[in-house]
Amino acid sequence: MKSISSSAKTSTGDNPPRPGDPVDTLRGIGPARAADLGRIGAGTVGGLLRLFPKEYILPSRKKSIADAVEGESTVFEGELKGVRLVRRGWRPSVVEGTIADGTGEIRALWFRVPYLAKTLKPGASLMLRGTPTGSPLRLLHPGFEVIRPGEESEFSGIVPRYTGIPGLPQKVLRRAIRSALAASGDLVDPIPPDVRRRHGLLPLRKALEAIHAPSNEEAIAPARRRFLFEELFLQQVIFAKRRGERLSGATVHVSRKGSAGRALDRFLGSLPFRLTGDQRRVIGEIRADLESGRVMERLLLGDVGSGKTVVAAAAAVHAVEPGGQAAILVPTEVLARQHAASLRKLLAPVGMNVGLLVSDLPAAAGRPIRSALERGELTVVVGTHALLQESVRFRNLALAVVDEQHRFGVRQRELLPGKGVGAHRLHLSATPIPRSLALTLYGDLDLSVLKESPPGRLPVTTQRFHGAERKKAYAHLKERLAGGEQGFILFPLVEESEKIDLKAAARAYRKLAAGYLGDFRVRLLHGRLPSAERIETLDAFRAGDVDLLVCTTVVEVGVDLPKATVMIVEEADRFGLSQLHQIRGRVGRSDLPSHCFLITRGTVTPQAQKRLAVLELLDDGFRIAEEDLAIRGPGELFGVRQHGHAGIDVAAVLRDPELFEAARHEALVVAQKSAETVTSRSG
Ligand code: ADP
Ligand code: MG
């Protein structure tokens, strides 16, 4: 029998644990394990209680051996009939045990633990947890416990399982947490009682008991709900306070209110189209920010083609009017050039010039722009990462816009506004995500949403074609090209198979250009071509001198070519859902009807089938993002993983948007109250 008497610790009885006690005061936790726990934030009794189970073994998983089912994780209880150590030459040792429970026998194999052959004694009662496999069914390396006579097995009730720490057996962790529960009454509940009451949330102590030692299955969900609320609530309080503390005062750029003849009014009056209601509302939100005397920090979420660029332009016009400058950071050179061109057109009526700064510019060409920025002679600049270089300085940066913000790291996003004092920030994102998710990830920013697309836009008709059916898509393309419209044929390109992918695109290009589409002006475009050539090709396409682009994903993000109406995506099953939505967004940018054809061949996985079906059905990017989250899980969604909000169960937030809204609402109330206290104390 193992001895635990070497430790004189008592965690119960006359010395109940207290939340602030170090964990090594608990039975079974020595200094080394305490250090391991400390590293994951569970170094104190109170901290340990915040280590929540990742799953539970439910009594319903218990089965008799005769009922064992292949592939089903099960708990068995039985008597160890025999045990032996098997060594085969140089191979790792295997301990083989046979367990019987009156209904049958099952073999269990443990690897690389030869000592088990000695410590496990035939005749012992065992509780085993594993997944039967093979024929006859066996258990490979199952978890087990020896049940001593008179001792009730921990597997008899609901057993929590925690994220493993190497060297810390679940059994030890479970016991330590159980005894730590005695301290839960001394913990301060971070959710105020009235908030708990309003939303039917368990008090902290009850919730801790229910999550670590649930009396039945039904007790678990309310506890989880309470802790999710708590996390969201605390996070939103922090976000709200951060928003409240945003820089205000003398160093902030303040745009002028009222007074007719302002640049913004002239700009809005000069637009070649009518703004959508969404665009007008968002411009209003930005205008209020810029006139408020506090630094703006706003995230603009907009679906593909919803017209974010003109909103950013309006922001720039208003922000720079009292003598400031605006800078727009974009992820690619193609986009930088496109934005510079469209901003030049949009800003000409108000007499603003627009500079371009990209890394491919020869040093000599970049120099005049840098010096104009430094002297304050240039009001608006568009650029790639080149803008972030130290040599780029502004005389008076009033607004930093980051387009496709998820393509930049958090630190990079900070670099640009850092080049000014009290500069406003506007982040644009074309990955439409549900509001609850946006506010979980970026709740310290104010949020504006553009959903509406410009008037007259028709939804892009989306169709799947498999194998030989693709001829229909190509016939349609040919017809449209003959009618003077433009199109794309897009091929996937991934790093691992880049060479093969490029060849596939180039081969298709040669074949089509020489044969089936020989009557049209076809060009090849991919990221490996020299940038001058890429730019020339896109310009020619924009000018109408090219009918069709055979390309890779270089046209995926942000590119705006209004006359294109047909998009054929080859091997569409190799793309992600949000990515396909972006790609499809390259067409349907005018009042002509557009088509997107998704081509597949060979076997298509059920997951890919689902993605393509969603795309055929939906065109609202926000809905598509929700489906994408449902299919892939939030960890995979572009931009979510890198953000590293490991703490919050994003999937649960999406499943329960009402709970999220409740937590956010209560957080705003709390933050508002504490802000009032601060003001009344200082004033
Ligand atoms: P995105 O939101 O994807 O960045 P863009 O800003 O590139 O979209 O706009 C897409 C296209 O729609 C551009 O050609 C732009 O000139 C045009 N556009 C934007 N707003 C309107 C509007 N209100 N009416 C008509 N066309 C518009
Ligand atoms: Mg854009």
In three-state secondary structure terms, 369 is helix
Two tokens, residue 75: 């708990």
Statement: residue 110 has pLDDT above 90: yes
CB atoms within 10 A of CB 23: 26
CA of 194 to the centre of ligand 1 (A): 47
Q: How confident is the model at residue 108 (pLDDT cuts 50, 70, 90)?
A: very high
How buried is residue 548: exposed, middle or buried, by Cβ count under 10 Å (0-12/13-18/19+)? buried
Q: Whose CA is nearest to atom 20 of ligand 1?
A: 307
- Residue 274 alpha carbon, nearest atom of ligand 1: 23
Index of the ligand 1 atom closest to the CA of residue 312: 6
Supply angle C-alpha 327, 331, 334, rounded to 5.
95
Q: 499-504 long-range contacts, Cβ below 8 Å, gap at least 24?
A: 501/552, 502/526, 502/528, 502/552, 504/570
| Residue 1 CB contacts under 8 Å (≥ 6 apart), including other chains | 148
Residue 198, pLDDT above cutoff 70: yes
Nearest CA to ligand 1 atom 21: 454
The CATH architecture that domain 258-450 belongs to is 3-Layer(aba) Sandwich (3.40)
pLDDT tens digits for range 453-482: 888 888 899 999 999 999 999 999 999 999
For residue 562, the ligand 1 atom closest to its alpha carbon is: 14
Task: Say which DSSP state 201 is in.
Answer: P
Coil, helix or strand at residue 530:
coil
Distance in angstroms (rounded) separating the CA atoms of residues 656 and 633: 15
| C-alpha–C-alpha distance, residues 554 and 534, integer Å | 9
Pairing mode, strands 595-600 and 461-466: parallel
- Indicate which ligand has the atom closest to the C-alpha of 313: 1
Q: In this structure, what token pair is assigned to residue 446? A: 């104010």
Query: How far is residue 379's CA from residue 543's CA, in Å, rounded to a whole number?
Result: 28
311 closest CA partner among 284, 348, 333: 284
Residue with tokens 């794309």: 488
Which of the pair, 109 or 677, is modelled with greater confidence? 109
pLDDT at 286: 96
pLDDT of residue 500: 84
Domains 258-450 and 461-638 share a fold: yes
User: Within 6 Å (CB) of ligand 1, which residues are found?
Assistant: 273-276, 279, 302, 304-310, 430, 454, 558, 560, 562, 589
Q: What is the pLDDT of residues 620-631, one digit of tens each?
A: 888 888 888 777
| Of 23-27, 245-249, 336-340, minimum mean pLDDT range | 245-249
Mean pLDDT for the chain? 86
Identity (one letter) of the amino acid at 403?
D
Facing residues of 76 across strands?
128
Backbone angles phi, psi at 446, to 5 degrees: -80, 150
> What does the alpha-carbon distance between residue 382 and residue 535 come to, in Å, rounded to a whole number?
16
Burial class (CB in 10 A: 0-12, 13-18, 19+), 404: buried
* DSSP β-bridge partners for residue 128: 76, 144
Instruction: Check whether 89 has a pLDDT greater than 70.
Output: yes
pLDDT at 77 over 50: yes
Centre a 10 Å sphere on the Cβ of residue 61 and count the other Cβ atoms it contains: 15
Question: Alpha helices, DSSP H only, in 380-514?
Answer: 410-415, 435-442, 470-482, 498-514
* Mutational test site, ligand 1, from 458, 555, 589, max ligand atoms within 8 Å of CB: 589
Q: What are residue 52's phi and psi, to 5 degrees?
A: -90, 150
* Token pair 């972030």: residue: 388
The atom number, within ligand 1, closest to the CA of 403 reads 4
Output the six-digit token pair for 308. 């974010």
Taking the C-alpha atoms of residue 253 and residue 421, their distance in angstroms, rounded to an integer, is 9
Distance, in Å, from the CA atom of 403 to the CA atom of 384, rounded to the nearest integer, reads 10
Atom of ligand 1 nearest to the CA of 342: 16
List pLDDT tens digits, range 230-280.
999 998 998 988 888 887 777 788 887 765 558 999 999 999 999 999 999
SS3 call for 207: helix
Domain boundaries defined on the chain: 1-58+159-188, 60-157, 258-450, 461-638
Mean pLDDT of 302-311: 90
Say what the alpha-carbon torsion angle 429, 435, 436, 438 is, to the nearest 10 degrees. Answer: 10
* Contact status, residue 113 vs residue 86, Cβ threshold 8 Å: no
Ligand nearest to the CA of 303: 1
* Burial of residue 527 (number of CB atoms within 10 Å: 0-12, 13-18, 19+): middle
Pairing of strands 125-130, 94-100: unpaired
**Closest CA relative to residue 380, chosen from 407, 410, 345:** 345
Flag whether the pTM goes above 0.85: no
Give residues whose Cβ lies within 5 Å of ion ligand 2: 558
pLDDT in tens, 599-646: 999 999 998 999 999 999 998 888 888 888 777 765 544 444 433 344
- Confidence (pLDDT) at 175: 86
Tell me the CA–centroid distance for residue 455 and ligand 1, in Å. Answer: 10
Question: Using CA atoms, how far apart are residues 78 and 92, in angstroms rounded to an integer?
Answer: 27
User: Cβ neighbours of residue 476 under 8 Å, at least 6 residues apart?
Assistant: 566, 595, 597
Q: Measure 95 CA to ligand 2 centroid, in angstroms.
A: 62
Q: In which order are the strands placed within the sheet that holds 548-551?
A: 461-466, 595-600, 564-569, 486-490, 548-551, 522-525
Residues with Cβ within 8 Å of residue 49, at least 6 apart in sequence: 19, 177, 180, 181, 183, 184, 187, 208, 212
Half-sphere exposure (Cβ direction) of 77: Cα atoms closer than 13 Å: 11
CA of residue 560 to ligand 1 center, whole Å: 8
Helices within 483-587 (DSSP H only)? 498-514, 531-542, 577-584
Which atom in ligand 1 lies closest to the alpha carbon of residue 304? 3
Question: Using one digit for the tens of pLDDT, what is the confidence trace for 516-525?
Answer: 999 999 999 9
**CATH for 461-638?**
3.40.50.300
Please state which of the four CATH numbers 3.40.50.300, 2.60.15.10, 3.40.50.2300, 2.40.50.140 is assigned to the domain occupying 60-157.
Answer: 2.40.50.140
Tens-place pLDDT, residues 656-674: 889 999 999 999 998 888 8
**Which one, of 355, 348, 334, lies nearest residue 272 by Cα?**
348
- β partners of residue 98: 82, 107
Q: Which ligand is nearest to the CA of 328?
A: 2
